[in-house]
Structure 1
Amino acid sequence: MDKAVVLVALAAVFSSGNCQYEPTWESIDSRPLPEWYDQAKFGIFIHWGVFSVPSYGSEWFWWYWQGRKLQSYVDFMQKNYPPNFQYQDFAPLFTAEFFNAKQWVDIFSASGAKYIVLTTKHHEGFTLWGSKYSWNWNAVDVGPKRDLVAEVADALRANSNLRLGLYHSLFEWFNPLFRQDAASVFTTNKFPVTKTLPELYEIVTKYHPEILWSDGDGDAPDKYWNSTGFLAWLYNESPVRETVVTNDRWGYGTICKHGGYYTCSDRYNPGHLLKHKWENCMTIDQKSWGYRRDAELKDYLTIEDLIKTLVETVSCGGNLLMNVGPTHDGRIAPIFEERLRQVGQWLAVNGEGIYNSSAWRAQNDTVTPGVWYTCRPNDNIVYAVILQWPDSGYVTLNVPLVVEGKTEVALLGYAQPLKWQLLKPIGLKVFLPQLPYGQMPCSWAWTLRLTGAT
């Protein structure tokens, strides 16, 4: 074959995304992150499972009760449940009788999120789909008697443009096969071979998620989980190989080091730009990922807190994954719904500075606290998000480079251009409109668009 023909053929293979990845971290980590994920910026995390039945303390209820035997959990069970009650007895009470997938999707769409991540299996091992690898410990065999993952996936695709993400825990606290492997210091691997990996292949081929959110390594290394082997299949052969995005929790030592994007830790918010794409997964209820009946109003983040976290995260190049915990009967509590709809109201006005934006050369202002930046470099636009409305009637921005007669400043949601004054050696003073508080565009944070600024 002619050399030129060979080169053209090779170029076609690589440009079409058909590059074959080897089961090594060097190869896996070389895969470019699908562009849609960086553009999306905001997603919804959903923690739902048998732990939603006791809905006390934490989604780690089983472990705190039977693993660590924390006194508060032991007392809770002795006070409220009969003797010899087992954690497995909660499963028939996980009824989901009020679960309406379309209603969930309507709320998630109203939030302005671009993707969701649903827990298909937490560390308790209970699967929200009828997994043939989790006999009688899944939502089809016991409890709802329904494939909850399928209902969410179908409603999502029929009624929204949201992308589907699925969470899956690698290990299970009390699974005897995992405990046997752990006792051998992971020199045996019966649990991942017969349970974890088959489940992963199952949810990918059945539901086609575009995010696979792995978690819970159980202190076992990635080689025990055969993570690179699975990811090579995911990127080379799976039905979502072109668009799927993965995180960094694929075995002990991989977090914040390997994978499509980094999570580093729960509620990770570094406050500065990272070299690698990252995600801040956090909770509206500050004390738990699952629903808690014992939650107090002060435990929930305010809308101002949530907008601040979103803005800081996106300014530093991250995505925000905001968690809600539904009830055992399938409801999203009104306080969660209110917070999500409020975020959506803010994004309806200010989303131009969030979606499809890029991190700017400066993340926040060096003079005025509470001002965070994003940009659209191809359009020569800088966005400045103001977290607190100044009493002075103006805001000073020390970082942007502007030119009189060329730079235009606008407040998103306000029709008239704003007046501004050039400061030396650099920066500008922007005069804000004097509007009654109720007439300000979405009064939780405000976004300035600086066109013709660098």
Structure 2
Amino acid sequence: MKSLGEETTVASMAAMVTSAAQRLLLILLAASASARYTPDWESLDSRPLPSWFDEAKFGIFLHWGVYSVPAWGSEWFWWNWQGAHLPNYEIFMHSYYPPGFSYADFAPQFRAKFFDPKLWAKLFKAAGARYVVLTSKHHEGFTNWPSPTSWNWNSMDVGPHRDLVGELGHFLREENIHYGLYHSLLEWFNPLYVLDKDNNFTTQNFVMTKALPELVDLVNKYKPDLIWSDGEWEAPDTYWNSTEFLAWLYNDSPVKDLVDVVSLGGNYLLNIGPTKDGVIIPIFQERLLSVGRWLSINGEGIYASKPWRVQMEHTTSRLWFTTKQSAVYVFFADWPMSGILQLTSPVPTNMTTVMMLGIPELLKWSEDSLDRSLLIYLPKLSPDLADMKIWTLKLKGVE
């Protein structure tokens, strides 16, 4: 088994840059030129963040690819081994694999034979995740869908012989979970990318033949709610045709309401690494279900929340605040020995009520006569409450 890069010479790969690839750029430029968002950063940055993402708050990120076979180090295995030549990676390969073993030889072992996308989707739903981001392709270039520009180096041709991107997306949407796709722009050892890099990125052989067609294919075929493009740091945005692609994405693609970044909105994206056979190991499952149990009680103060005027108090206790629909939510991780929680930021009024999420009764409170801090009398710390680790108070009627 050989990868695309090992079978094809630079010269023959460069010849693949045809008029069809050039027409792709012309289509993107024409589609964006007369639409609402023009292909420049001032216009693109004015686009508001889609509300679903701002309200989701919690998602799951899946690193899954050929690097899941050695399952050692990280998803940067190939580069660390044959790009950076890190000694510990070379020792690992010498210790466990025969001489001449190539990275492409891992691909047939990436079988995903126990991959059950329906069970994955149900697990993520139980974990309280509102969106899931799957690695459609990392910097190694192997695609988890039958990419027409990644022949012999994709999950349909090699290994699983399945469309992993498509299968997971179907069942996530059955559970009403938003579907995101991570897609690497650069590919470490792709001859066309290496050629462009050698040319100081004055040519766009790789972009026009591989990167842009793949992104367009992903969007048109799977209609993701989120695209996370990564790996742009070695070349300028003009090399990647970033503004032209984003203008098309926002104006004329079939998913105009998608999110193109995942670093905004105060969301938490939890990374999970399935095995090469498509198993989410029990310890990961247990942690996910634990998060889901916590969110089933405390999620009211998480989902669709906004930052309050104070994010956290500078006290000996660990306290955080959010707000939603005129209520203030207080998260605290240190249960006071006295059973009385003191808050200095919320200002109580004669309309103030306090409750703890998961407990139906209102809690008693008073105002400290010296500093006007809010004193909240917590319920008895039962074993079930103690197991929660972080507790949430809901305050109404505070200034």
TM-score normalised to the size of structure 2? 0.89
Aligned equivalent of 1:231: 246
Identity %: 54
Aligned-partner Cα distance in 2 for 1:222–1:369 = 45
Pairing of 1:121-132 with structure 2 (within 5 A): 121-132=137-148
> Which of 74, 84, 106 is the equivalent residue of 1:58?
74
C-alpha contact (below 8 Å) 1:349/1:441 kept by paired residues: no
Aligned equivalent of 1:67: 83
Q: RCO greater where, 1 or 2, for CA within 8 Å and sep 6 or more?
A: 2
Residue by residue over 1:351-380, the C-alpha shift from the partner in whole angstroms, topping out at 9 and shown as x without a partner, is 01000111001000133531000001xx32
Would you say 1:134 and 2:150 are equivalent positions?
yes
Residue by residue over 1:68-123, the C-alpha shift from the partner in whole angstroms, topping out at 9 and shown as x without a partner, is 11111111111111110000000000000000000110111011010000000000
Aligned-partner Cα distance in 1 for 2:156–2:388 = 45
Partner SS for 1:135: coil
Q: Which runs of 4+ in 1 moved over 4 A?
A: none
Aligned equivalent of 1:197: 212
Would you say 1:245 and 2:259 are equivalent positions?
yes
Would you say 1:166 and 2:114 are equivalent positions?
no
Aligned-residue offset at 1:20: 1.2
Would you say 1:396 and 2:342 are equivalent positions?
yes
Aligned equivalent of 2:163: 147
- 2:117 maps to amino acid: A
Aligned-residue offset at 1:19: 6.3
Aligned equivalent of 1:439: 384
Partner SS for 1:172: coil
Would you say 1:335 and 2:283 are equivalent positions?
yes
Aligned-partner Cα distance in 1 for 2:200–2:88 = 32
Q: Structure 2: state its 5+ residue gaps.
A: 1-33
Aligned-partner Cα distance in 2 for 1:61–1:425 = 57
Residue by residue over 1:268-317, the C-alpha shift from the partner in whole angstroms, topping out at 9 and shown as x without a partner, is xxxxxxxxxx2xxxxxxxxxxxxxxxxxxxxxxxxxxxxxxxxxxxxxx5
Would you say 1:104 and 2:52 are equivalent positions?
no
Aligned-residue offset at 1:168: 0.0
Residue by residue over 1:374-420, the C-alpha shift from the partner in whole angstroms, topping out at 9 and shown as x without a partner, is 001xx3210000112121211110001111x3100000001211111
C-alpha contact (below 8 Å) 1:411/1:449 kept by paired residues: yes
C-alpha contact (below 8 Å) 1:62/1:124 kept by paired residues: yes
- 1:433 maps to amino acid: P
Residue by residue over 1:328-373, the C-alpha shift from the partner in whole angstroms, topping out at 9 and shown as x without a partner, is 0000011111111111000000001000111001000133531000
Aligned equivalent of 1:417: 362
Residue by residue over 1:236-275, the C-alpha shift from the partner in whole angstroms, topping out at 9 and shown as x without a partner, is 001110x20011xxxxxxxxxxxxx6x3xxxxxxxxxxxx
Pairing of 1:315-326 with structure 2 (within 5 A): 318-326=266-274
Aligned-residue offset at 1:425: 3.8
Aligned equivalent of 1:221: 236
Aligned-residue offset at 1:442: 5.2
- 1:214 maps to amino acid: S
TM-score normalised to the size of structure 1? 0.79
Aligned-partner Cα distance in 2 for 1:90–1:109 = 32
> Which of 373, 385, 392 is the equivalent residue of 2:331?
385
> Which of 394, 404, 428 is the equivalent residue of 2:374?
428
CA RMSD of aligned residues (A): 1.3
Aligned-residue offset at 1:218: 4.5
Residue by residue over 1:38-77, the C-alpha shift from the partner in whole angstroms, topping out at 9 and shown as x without a partner, is 1110100000000000001111110010001111111111
Aligned-partner Cα distance in 2 for 1:161–1:76 = 42
- Farther off after superposition, 194-203 or 426-435: 426-435
Aligned-partner Cα distance in 1 for 2:58–2:179 = 13
Aligned-partner Cα distance in 1 for 2:281–2:274 = 7
Aligned-partner Cα distance in 1 for 2:294–2:385 = 12
Aligned equivalent of 1:366: 314
Partner SS for 2:309: coil
> Which of 46, 57, 60 is the equivalent residue of 2:62?
46
Residue by residue over 1:175-220, the C-alpha shift from the partner in whole angstroms, topping out at 9 and shown as x without a partner, is 1110111111111111011100000000000000010011111511
Partner SS for 2:279: coil
Aligned equivalent of 1:450: 395
Aligned-partner Cα distance in 1 for 2:352–2:294 = 25
Question: Which of the two has higher C-alpha Rg?
Answer: 2
Pairing of 1:339-358 with structure 2 (within 5 A): 339-358=287-306
- Farther off after superposition, 440-449 or 91-100: 440-449
C-alpha contact (below 8 Å) 1:367/1:398 kept by paired residues: no
Name the CA shift for 1:442/1:341 in 2 (closer, same or farther; >3 Å): same
Residue by residue over 1:119-169, the C-alpha shift from the partner in whole angstroms, topping out at 9 and shown as x without a partner, is 0000000000000100100000010011000100111122x0100000000
Name the CA shift for 1:115/1:170 in 2 (closer, same or farther; >3 Å): same
Aligned-partner Cα distance in 1 for 2:152–2:259 = 31
Partner SS for 2:151: coil
Aligned length in residues: 365
C-alpha contact (below 8 Å) 1:346/1:442 kept by paired residues: no
C-alpha contact (below 8 Å) 1:120/1:128 kept by paired residues: yes
> Which of 192, 199, 218 is the equivalent residue of 1:177?
192
Aligned-partner Cα distance in 2 for 1:425–1:34 = 42
C-alpha contact (below 8 Å) 1:382/1:451 kept by paired residues: yes
- 1:207 maps to amino acid: Y
Aligned-residue offset at 1:441: 7.3
Partner SS for 2:166: helix
